């Protein structure tokens, strides 16, 4: 890869082993006496964080080559960037370096071919289930990436660089069943309608239409993550029968009027919407722009009805469970009908504002779910700053977003699991600031628990690696917010209590 890009390096180093088996010790022998499990099931392993391997490598480099006086790093994990800033300052203070710098790498969000992605995931699921059969038959447990940890220089032994962030004992592996899972129930829009939304709202090329929120106008948002499927979420997962009936049922046509714009902390923006009041539509004198499923814009409800009357009421294409799992058609159902005799309603299961998320700054810690935190909305306006003179209405359909996902077993979801892993311990070891206030730590633990619940990850030692991955994402987000927080007069970040607070 380096040669192809014409890069001539003096040294290329790859990550060493970060997982090693702990040889039998007194604690291990005692555990053998207290359980009926086979000894193989009680093998204990230690894991060292990837950051530790980088930290020690660079320390070794400086000790081996003291003539190195300048260092610049590039890293794509905000959490590690914050830690390296701390370490770099230590090296400067200790006169090991004259200059030190670090750059946050902002990777573009790339998508794999969907069918290729599905085949890879299903292959991994098949490998996991095959390993379950091996272990049930008395075969060995599988722990990936096991090897001998590299030796540490005597000069580094007292620096706690290799302080492990987790130890675990492999336990009974569970089989995974993949099925089509409903992600949410909401108002879906055809691709043609979504294109109109992107063209007419927030697009600087369409100056006579609707501009972005005021604080984001003129700002470069090219690095932001755009919502790939514009919709209005009404409730998460499959809607209960009673709620589904209250919104009109699957397939009902919904007339959604764009009402206002809002943003959260300058890192996310969305469109506030409401259900079109048919009586109000007849009395309001402002021009009406109704976007039909095919993308055609009509100036009145009568024109919309006339255009679709020949089609007659129809139902959206439904997706039944396939004989063999494959990617759903374009990952979403096509809602191309209009039935004015069966209108649905814009009602949310929770007390939230109905909205369409447009884009968010993922590299600075924003997540799609943060759109629920928008509380202040501003009127629609053109790029000239004048109020938008018309009314924009989108024709959508009540539907469900389905994805391929893990189907939790009934037994595991119904039983109460005692927590086996300390979330606080994992988070503290992932953060650059070990002295995080209890309130902030509690908030992050809560965020990890919510994400574990959403992903159906139980707090078991066997899931410790997955839990650490979830915690890493939460820590990265907290570090991103801390790094973007206002700095003091001395140029250092604000206090930990302020910098790690998601509300900041």
The model's pLDDT over 258-270, given as tens digits with 9 standing for 90+, comes to 999 999 999 999 9
Q: What's the pLDDT at 58?
A: 94
Between CA 461 and CA 451 the distance in angstroms is 17
Which secondary structure element, helix H or strand E, spans residue 187, and what is its range?
Answer: strand 178-188
Give the start-to-end residue ranges of the domains of the chain: 11-176, 179-406, 411-504
**Cβ contacts of 150 within 8 Å, gap of 6 or more:** 16, 17
Residue 174 has pLDDT above 90, yes or no: no
Select the highest-mean-pLDDT range: 15-19, 70-74, 164-168, 398-402: 70-74
Q: What is the DSSP letter of 343?
A: B
User: Band of the pLDDT at 281, cuts 50, 70, 90?
Assistant: low
Q: How many CB atoms lie within 10 A of CB 417?
A: 11
**Is the Cβ–Cβ distance between 420 and 461 less than 8 Å?**
yes
Q: What's the pLDDT at 462?
A: 65
Catalogue the long-range contacts made by 240-248 (C-beta closer than 8 Å, 24 or more residues apart): 243/347, 243/349, 244/185, 244/398, 246/345, 246/347, 247/185, 247/344, 247/345, 247/346, 247/347, 247/398, 248/342, 248/343, 248/344, 248/345, 248/398
User: Is the model more confident about 135 or about 413?
Assistant: 135
Residue 404 has pLDDT above 70, yes or no: yes
Structure tokens at 74: 């590039």
- Across 270-283, average pLDDT: 86
User: Band of the pLDDT at 37, cuts 50, 70, 90?
Assistant: very low
Question: Which residue(s) pair with 74 in the sheet?
Answer: 103
How many Cα neighbours within 13 Å face the side chain of 495?
Answer: 4
DSSP output for 190-251:
-HHHHHHHHHHBS-TT-TTSB---GGGTT---TTSEEPSS-EEEEEESSPPHHHHHHTT-TT
How many Cα neighbours within 13 Å face the side chain of 4?
Answer: 1
Residue carrying structure tokens 């809607």: 239
Q: What's the pLDDT at 42?
A: 61
Q: What's the pLDDT at 61?
A: 94
User: Is the model more confident about 242 or about 484?
Assistant: 242
In tens, the pLDDT along 340-392 reads 889 999 988 887 899 999 999 987 778 888 899 999 999 999 988 899 999 99
Residue 503 has pLDDT above 50, yes or no: no
pTM of structure: 0.61
**Terminal Cα distance for the chain, rounded:** 41
Q: Is 263 strand, coil or helix?
A: strand
Lowest mean pLDDT among 22-26, 123-127, 267-271, 411-415: 411-415
Helix orientation angle between 464-483 and 78-93, rounded to the nearest 10 degrees: 70
- Across 193-219, average pLDDT: 88
Q: What's the whole-number average pLDDT of the chain?
A: 80
- Across 287-293, average pLDDT: 93
In tens, the pLDDT along 489-502 reads 444 444 333 333 33
């Amino acid at each position: 890869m380096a040669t192809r890009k014409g890069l001539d390096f003096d040294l290329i180093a790859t990550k060493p082993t970060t997982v090693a088996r702990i040889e039998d010790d007194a604690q291990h022998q005692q555990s053998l006496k207290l359980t009926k499990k086979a000894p193989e099931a009680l093998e204990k392993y230690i894991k060292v964080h990837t950051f530790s391997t980088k930290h020690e490598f660079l320390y070794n480099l400086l000790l081996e080559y003291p003539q190195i006086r300048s260092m610049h790093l590039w890293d794509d994990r905000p959490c590690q960037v914050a830690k390296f800033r701390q370490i770099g300052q230590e090296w400067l203070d200790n006169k090991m370096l004259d200059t030190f710098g670090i750059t946050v790498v902002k990777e573009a969000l790339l998508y794999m071919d969907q069918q290729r992605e599905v085949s890879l995931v299903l292959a991994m699921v098949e490998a996991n289930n095959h390993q379950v059969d091996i272990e049930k038959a008395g075969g060995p447990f599988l722990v990936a990436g096991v090897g001998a940890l590299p030796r540490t220089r005597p000069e580094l032994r007292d620096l706690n660089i290799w302080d492990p962030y987790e130890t675990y004992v492999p336990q009974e592996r569970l089989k995974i069943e993949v099925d089509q899972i409903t992600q949410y129930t909401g108002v879906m829009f055809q691709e043609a309608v979504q294109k109109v939304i992107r063209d007419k709202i927030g697009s600087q090329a369409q100056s006579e239409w609707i501009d972005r929120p005021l604080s984001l106008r003129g700002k470069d948002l090219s690095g932001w993550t755009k919502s790939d499927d514009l919709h209005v979420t009404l409730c998460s997962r499959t809607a209960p029968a009673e709620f589904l009936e209250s919104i009109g049922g699957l397939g009902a046509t919904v007339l959604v009027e764009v009402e206002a714009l809002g943003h959260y902390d300058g890192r996310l923006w969305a469109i506030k919407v409401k259900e079109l009041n048919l009586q109000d539509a007849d009395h309001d004198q402002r021009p009406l722009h109704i976007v039909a499923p095919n993308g055609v814009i009509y100036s009145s409800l009568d024109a919309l009805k006339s255009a679709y009357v020949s089609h007659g009421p129809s139902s959206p294409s439904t997706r039944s469970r396939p004989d063999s799992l494959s990617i759903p058609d374009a990952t979403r159902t096509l809602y191309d009908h209009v039935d004015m005799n069966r209108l649905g309603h814009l009602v949310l299961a929770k007390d939230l504002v109905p909205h369409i998320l447009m884009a968010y700054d993922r590299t600075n810690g924003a997540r799609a779910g943060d759109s629920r935190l928008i509380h202040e909305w501003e009127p629609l306006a053109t790029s000239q700053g004048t109020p938008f003179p018309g009314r924009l209405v989108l024709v959508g359909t009540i539907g469900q977003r389905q994805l391929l996902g893990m189907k939790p077993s009934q037994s595991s979801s119904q039983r109460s699991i005692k927590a086996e892993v300390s979330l606080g311990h994992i988070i503290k070891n992932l953060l650059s600031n070990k002295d995080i206030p209890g309130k902030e730590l509690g908030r992050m633990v809560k965020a990890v628990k919510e994400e574990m619940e959403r992903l159906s990850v139980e707090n078991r030692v066997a899931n410790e690696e997955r839990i650490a991955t979830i915690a890493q994402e939460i820590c990265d987000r907290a570090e991103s917010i801390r790094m973007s927080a206002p700095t003091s007069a001395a140029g250092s970040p604000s206090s930990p209590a302020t910098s790690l607070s998601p509300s900041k």
